Structure formats: C-alpha cells, structure tokens
Amino acid sequence: MPSVSVCFSPILFPLFKNDDAVVVVVDVLRATSAIVTGFDHGVNVMVAVAGIEETLSYKDKGYLVAGERNGEMQEGFDFGNSPFSYKPEVVKGRNVAISTTNGTQAVVAAKDSHKLFIGAFLNISALCKRILNENRDVIVLCAGWKNKFNLEDTLFAGALAEKLAGNGYLLNCDSALAAIELWKNAKPDVNAFLATSSHRNRLKHLDLEADIKYCLTLDLCKSVPELEAGVLVWKD
Ligand code: MLT
C-alpha cells in the first residue's frame, strides 16, 4: 500500500525526496484556499510565482495578478489573497498569476514533483478522491510561515492523512502521526483550536475574520488544481 507523509515546512522538503510521490501543497490561510476558490469560480489557469516583480510582468500577457506579503496586497496588483476576491464575474475564463508569502513559495519548492495537487479544507474530499485514483505515496507539504511550522496547515495535513489512512494508506512518518493527533483534538471546533495561532491572529488584526471562517470550511469546493507544465490547471 502507498504511504502518507507530512512535511511541516518547505525547508524540510528535500528530506522527503520521493520522485514517484504525489505532493499536496497546502496553505490553508489563505493561498491554497484562494486558488481552489478561483478554479471553482472559473479561472482558466494559474501561475504560482515566487517574486513580486515577476508576478507583475504577467500583466503584459493579459493575466490578472494577485498576491500579498505578510497578508497585505501589494501595489500594482489586481487583488490580494482573499478568496472573496475570486468572484466568478471577475475570474471566469481568466488566467491569474499569484505570489504569496508562503503558499506559492511552497508550490515553487515542489514544482518538480511527479504530481502536485493544491489542497485546502475547502476541497479536502474531492482531493482525497483524486489522490486515491493515483494510488501512490503522498507527501503533504505544509507551506507554514516563512519556513516555520504553522498549526492550520498541520491540521489540514492531519485531516487528509486520517482520511487516507482510513483507505489503507500506511502511516510510517511521525509527523503524519502528530498531525493526526492534533487534528483529532481540533476537529470539534477548528476555529477555536486556532484561537491563539499566529497567522489566524495576523489576519484577525487585518480585519479578515470572514476569510478565516471561509478557509476553515470543509468541502465547499470541488476543484482539485494540479500542476501541469508549470501552470496550475483543473482537469474537471
Ligand atoms: C501565504 O501564502 O503566506 C498566505 O496565504 C498569506 C495570506 O494569508 O495572505
């Protein structure tokens, strides 16, 4: 049977090297939640970019450009990183270039993986189904915060690992076991569990409580974006 591992930070990702594995990149608050929402609302393709200048250069190619640093939208961008910016009337049929503090950095770090999916609580069941079709080892790559551990991505990793273990996937990675234990404690009230966590509070101070609540909702979306030839697509 395939196994599921959890990598708590992009900086640790080289230690998990497995050329045949499916990698799930997660940045619950908020990059991967925004990406999943974008595809559900009709985005055509998305490019995850590391740098601000490179992202802005996509404007000349007709892309919408989205992004933030430390949670705040940057000058020259069409929108920041709120999933609520990806309204169908804004994004349907459009290409989007996105650069964020952590989420897109994690996508770039894992871009050479056999297969890369975008995960969030919003698409967790659709994602799990898609992963089961692959029947390969899975590495959940938590974007974290500037290469440090974060709680919300770990909870998502635990939730996904628990689902996969329920389908027979092996758990031979201590970080997957730890993530599942945290998820078991958190799942009765994830928002309350995260009350004192750092990025939740950063976003709260930016008056983004609605974003947090939305990003912690299970299964609102059905898209499972994946990386193909360097761009994110959703093959419905
Ligand atoms: C990130 O990529 O670091 C986050 O999505 C930051 C944010 O919430 O805007």
Domain boundaries, the chain: 4-230
| pLDDT(236) > 80 | no
Distance 1 CA to ligand 1 centre (A): 34
Using CA atoms, how far apart are residues 28 and 32, in angstroms rounded to an integer?
6
- State which H helix or E strand residue 232 sits in: strand 231-233
* C-beta contacts of 194-200 below 8 A and 24+ residues apart: 194/151, 194/152, 194/155, 197/150, 197/151, 197/152, 198/145, 198/150, 199/29, 199/71, 199/145, 199/150, 199/152, 200/29, 200/152
Mutate to test the pocket of ligand 1, among 102, 146, 212 (most ligand atoms within 8 A of CB): 102
Q: Which atom of ligand 1 is nearest to the CA of 104?
A: 2
| pLDDT(17) > 90 | no
Q: What's the pLDDT tens digit per position in 220-235?
A: 999 999 999 999 999 9
What pLDDT sits at residue 74? Answer: 87
Distance 2 CA to ligand 1 centre (A): 31
Domain 4-230 sits in CATH at 3.90.1560.10
Contact by Cβ (8 Å): 95, 64: yes
pTM, entire model: 0.96
Using CA atoms, how far apart are residues 155 and 143, in angstroms rounded to an integer?
12
Distance 33 CA to ligand 1 centre (A): 10
What pLDDT sits at residue 212? Answer: 94
| Ligand 1, residues at Cβ distance < 6 Å | 27, 29-31, 68, 71, 81, 100-103, 143, 203
Cis peptide before 30 (omega within 30 of 0): yes
Using CA atoms, how far apart are residues 71 and 110, in angstroms rounded to an integer?
22
What pLDDT sits at residue 206? Answer: 87
Q: What's the pLDDT tens digit per position in 147-194?
A: 999 999 999 999 999 999 999 999 989 999 999 999 999 999 999 999
Q: What's the pLDDT tens digit per position in 54-112?
A: 999 999 999 999 989 988 898 999 999 999 999 999 999 999 999 999 999 999 999 99
Phi-psi bin for 89: left (phi > 0), alpha (psi -120 to 50), beta? alpha
Using CA atoms, how far apart are residues 159 and 219, in angstroms rounded to an integer?
12
